[in-house]
Amino acid sequence: MKPFTSLCLALASLAAADAVLSAARPQYGGTLRVEVEATLATLDPAAAAANDAQDAARARVSPLVFEPLTSIEADGLRPLLATSWQIEARGGRWRFRVRGGVVLHDGSTLQPWQVAASIRAIEPAWKAAAEGDAVAIDTGEPIPDLPWAIADARHAIVVRGAGGALVGSGPFRIEHVDPSRILLKAHDSYWRARPFVDGVQIESARRPEAQLVDLEGGRADVVGVRAIDARRLMRRGLRVEASRPLELVALVFEPHRATDAALAWRRTLAATIHRDAICSVVLQGQAAPARSALPPWLSGYARAIALNDAPAMSPTAVGALPLDQRTVTIRVDPADLVTQAIAERLAVDAREAGFTVKVQAPVGLAPRPDARLVRVAAPATTADRALASIAERLSARGEPAAAPPPGAALDATYRAEQALVERVVVVPIVHVPQLYGVGERVGAAAPVARPLGGWDLANVWLLGGRP
């Protein structure tokens, strides 16, 4: 049995938990101040994101305003704006019963035809129409796990009002959006009860360093935190909250190093990686060692099965390699200090095995690297969809990867993952969670960070009364 320990993550989380505020009577009022690194010019779920960071930031903010028919929670798929769903025997047509009495941000009540229009806007190829208190969706090509597919933020129900106003049903309504600031106001008639705070102010395009300083200085209440900064916040008595691991950090070899002839060489380099040390030392306990693309909680099988443990070259064989094969250049995103820190540690480990590793963080043109250290989101959904998402993002980075078909059986997902990692072109290193720093005036009986990503800001209140 391969030990897959996340002890360091557990320990760090417990340490962070020490600082959790004791329960207090919730208070209404005040404006919660949140900061994000990405620029958010719109919250429209249908709008294409400019990059992964913007996509991730919107996935956090959008659910505060818009809600999909279904929701994926830690215990599986749950109803949200739909109360139930059925599929016709032939598999291409679904019927979702729309929850009654949901008051939209404009004061009207959500109608099935509005749901159908929203679905059509985001999926033009589908046929969606109201049928009584339900909406029928014909996807054409059968999607056997449609309720899972439409649980993401992109499929949230948006009612497009006059002048292009975006009307949702979530706990907050949009008051103002510009590229540097988003103002949300509490939705008094929210069907799951009004949020405690009156509003949320989201400052976007804030660099991580600035977010830290703002949190420490009391100018922000919830900020994004890099793993390399977690200890600093905890030492100052501030809370650091974590989701489940939702991102894969992996080493991806470039095509000239991805040949079959170089397989033993790649295995040898991969075998030098000390994942536990990266997790506990570099990432300050805020990560879990990764020997698979999917985190074990997403696959369900990763702890029992080794995806790749083929033998590596011996150290003497490494020493006998030509110089150009003993020298490895790893490229990292110059703006990403976390992957830079991991790469530096990889260099130390590889050096002990006889390799010379150069870490390259170019801001302009640079020599061709041998590998890149990349971060890839592992979305909280079914194992096959999560792996398909990872494969798609890796493909976009140049590593062609086969994805399991939607709704695939788990053994098919396993085989696809095995195919992804067995050539050692993609080397999983760590799985990292979303981390948030939470300020002293934030009270909550539950964590601000949702286990599957994002924030639970409707459940937050501000201590000290109305500011």
Partner 1 sequence: MRVLSFAAVGFHGREWWTRPASAALALATLSVPAPAQPSAPFLDLAPDFASSIAAAVGPNAAAFVAFPPEQQRLQAEVVRLLAARGIRSVEGGDAARVSAECSTNLRERVCAAEIRRGDDRRVVITTRARDRAQDGGEEPIVAIELRPLYAQRRAMLDVAEAGDRLLVLAPESVSLVANDAAGARSIASRPIETSRVWPRDVRGRLRVAGASFEAFLPGVTCRGTVAPFALACADESEPWPLGLANSGIAPSRNAFATPDGFTFYEAAALGGGQWLAVGEHGALTLVDARGRSAAPADAADHVAGFPDSCAGDAPYVVADARAGEPNADALRLFRVVGARLVALPSSSTLPGTLTALWSAPAGGAATAIVHDVNAGRYEAFHVSLSCAR
Interface with partner 1 in residues 414-433 (CB under 8 A): 414, 431, 433
Q: Could you write out the DSSP letters of every residue in 227-287?
A: GGGHHHHHHTT-EEEEEEEEEEEEEEE-GGG-SGGGHHHHHHHHHT--HHHIIIIITTT-S
What is the DSSP-derived secondary structure letter of residue 19?
T
- 48-67 residues in contact with partner 1 (CB under 8 A) are none
Q: How far is CA 160 from CA 109, 164, 175, 200, in A?
A: 14, 6, 15, 22
Does 68 bind partner 1 (CB under 8 A)? Our answer is no
Query: Minimal CA–CA distance to 391: which of 357, 420, 352, 351?
Result: 420
Q: Write out the DSSP string of 365-431.
A: --PPPSEEEEEEE--SS-HHHHHHHHHHHHHHTT-----PPTT--HHHHHHHHHHHHHTSSEEEEEE
Instruction: Identify which range of 158-166, 273-281, 320-328, 378-386 contacts partner 1 by CB under 8 A.
Output: 378-386
Q: Which of the residues 147 through 176 are near partner 1 (CB under 8 A)?
A: 147-148
196 in Cβ contact with 460 (< 8 Å):
yes
43 vs 151 by CB, closer to partner 1: 151
Comparing CB distances to partner 1, the nearer of 179 and 300 is 300
180 binds partner 1 (CB under 8 A): no
The answer to whether 291 and 302 are in contact (CB under 8 A) is yes
Q: At its nearest, how many Å lie between partner 1 and the CB of residue 309?
A: 9
- Contact between 298 and partner 1 by CB under 8 A: the answer reads yes
Cross-strand partners of 372: 252, 331
Q: Of the candidates 45, 168, 208, 451, which one interacts with partner 1 according to CB under 8 A?
A: 451
Residue 139 touching partner 1 (CB under 8 A): no
Q: Which of 21, 122, 183, 337 binds partner 1 (CB under 8 A)?
A: 21
CB 132 → partner 1: shortest distance, Å? 14
- What residues numbered 80-119 form the site for partner 1, per CB under 8 A? 82-89, 99
If binding is defined by CB under 8 A, does position 409 make contact with partner 1? yes
* Distance of alpha carbon 271 from alpha carbon 263, whole angstroms: 12
User: Does residue 303 bind partner 1 (CB under 8 A)?
Assistant: yes
Give the chain's count of helices (H) and strands (E). Answer: 14, 21
Q: How many CB atoms lie within 10 A of CB 314?
A: 11
Q: Are 223 and 437 in contact (CB under 8 A)?
A: yes
Q: Considering the rule CB under 8 A, would residue 365 count as an interface residue with partner 1? A: no
Helix (H, G, I), strand (E, B), or coil: what is residue 64?
A: helix
Nearest one of 292, 264, 253 to 429, comparing CA atoms? 292
Interface with partner 1, residue 237, by CB under 8 A: no
Residue of 288, 312, 328, 371 interacting with partner 1 (CB under 8 A) = 288
Beta carbon nearer to partner 1, 201 or 459: 459
CB-wise, 87 or 205, nearer to partner 1? Answer: 87
Cβ atoms within 10 Å, residue 356: 12
Q: Applying CB under 8 A, does 439 fall inside the site for partner 1?
A: no
Tokens of 236: 């100052």
Q: Which of 447, 454, 455, 457 binds partner 1 (CB under 8 A)?
A: 447
Total of chain residues touching partner 1, rule CB under 8 A: 72
Cβ nearer to partner 1, comparing 84 with 180: 84
User: Which residue in 167, 229, 382, 416 binds partner 1 (CB under 8 A)?
Assistant: 382
Establish if 306 lies at the interface with partner 1 (CB under 8 A): yes
Query: What is the closest distance, in whole angstroms, from the C-beta atom of residue 444 to partner 1 in the complex?
Result: 8
Which of 49, 55, 79, 333 forms a contact with partner 1 (CB under 8 A)?
79
Between 37 and 384, name the residue whose CB sits nearer to partner 1: 384
Tell me how far apart the alpha carbons of residues 41 and 182 are, in angstroms, rounded to a whole number: 9
Judged by DSSP in three states, 39 sits in coil
78 binds partner 1 (CB under 8 A): yes
